[in-house]
Amino acid sequence: TGIAHGGSLIYYASILELIGNGEVLGIDIDIRTHNREQIEKHPMFKRITMLEGSSLSSEIVQQVADIAKDKKTILVSLDSNHTHEHVLKELELYAPFVTKESYIVVFDTIVEDLPEGYLPGRPWGKGNNPKSAVYAFLSDRTDFVIDHQIDNKLLISVAPEGYLKRVK
């Protein structure tokens, strides 16, 4: 979730192009016209589908379900609204699509580790962020675990403890 300027969509699509298969689905509540036009002009657009609307809406989730049907491997990347409530709801809605041994990547879990007041004017901060949502999501589940091996390999990350591997 989260498209912004489309850089991540294009990056992921280019990796899939190198592999030779796969597609990227991006969801954003507001895809700006200029950004949409630039993404649609890019050579990697052939591997990209964009949906405009709230990632929490039943209509968008149904569209994702229709697109995801019969896919062999699905990885979900969450990088939109970073409040605890929003990320937790996204985790609950999109976890069922993730295939075993694949991941939900929750970006910006680093917000929990930043000093208080580091992000002025944002509705998220310590105790109300992607990492707090990850902990709440995992508190009563056994089908996903934090993949600490990824964290241990990364020297720098905006997603510490945000790589959730589906194990069941």
Q: What is the pLDDT of residue 107?
A: 98
* Distance separating alpha carbons of residues 59 and 56, to the nearest angstrom: 9
- Structural domain boundaries of the chain? 1-71, 72-168
pLDDT in tens, 60-113: 999 999 999 999 999 999 999 999 999 999 999 999 999 999 999 999 999 999
Angle at 45 between CA 107 and CA 76, to 5 degrees: 30
Q: Report residue 72 as tokens.
A: 């062999």
Q: What is the pLDDT of residue 156?
A: 95
The CA dihedral of 65, 24, 2, 130, to the nearest 10 degrees, is 80
pLDDT in tens, 33-58: 999 999 999 999 999 999 999 999 99
Q: What is the pLDDT of residue 30?
A: 98
CB 111 within 8 Å of CB 125: yes
Beta carbons within 10 angstroms of residue 150's beta carbon = 17
* Distance separating alpha carbons of residues 107 and 90, to the nearest angstrom: 12
pLDDT in tens, 124-154: 999 999 999 999 999 999 999 999 999 999 9
Query: What is the pTM assigned to this prediction?
Result: 0.96
Q: What is the pLDDT of residue 19?
A: 98
The closest of 107, 109, 137, 139 to 125, measured between CA atoms, is: 109
Q: What is the pLDDT of residue 79?
A: 98
* Residue 104: φ, ψ to 5°: -105, 125
Q: What is the pLDDT of residue 81?
A: 97
Q: What is the pLDDT of residue 83?
A: 98
Classify residue 38 as exposed, middle or buried by CB count within 10 Å of its CB (0-12, 13-18, 19+).
middle
Extended beta strands in the chain, E state:
24-28, 48-52, 76-78, 103-106, 144-146, 163-166
Q: What is the pLDDT of residue 135?
A: 99
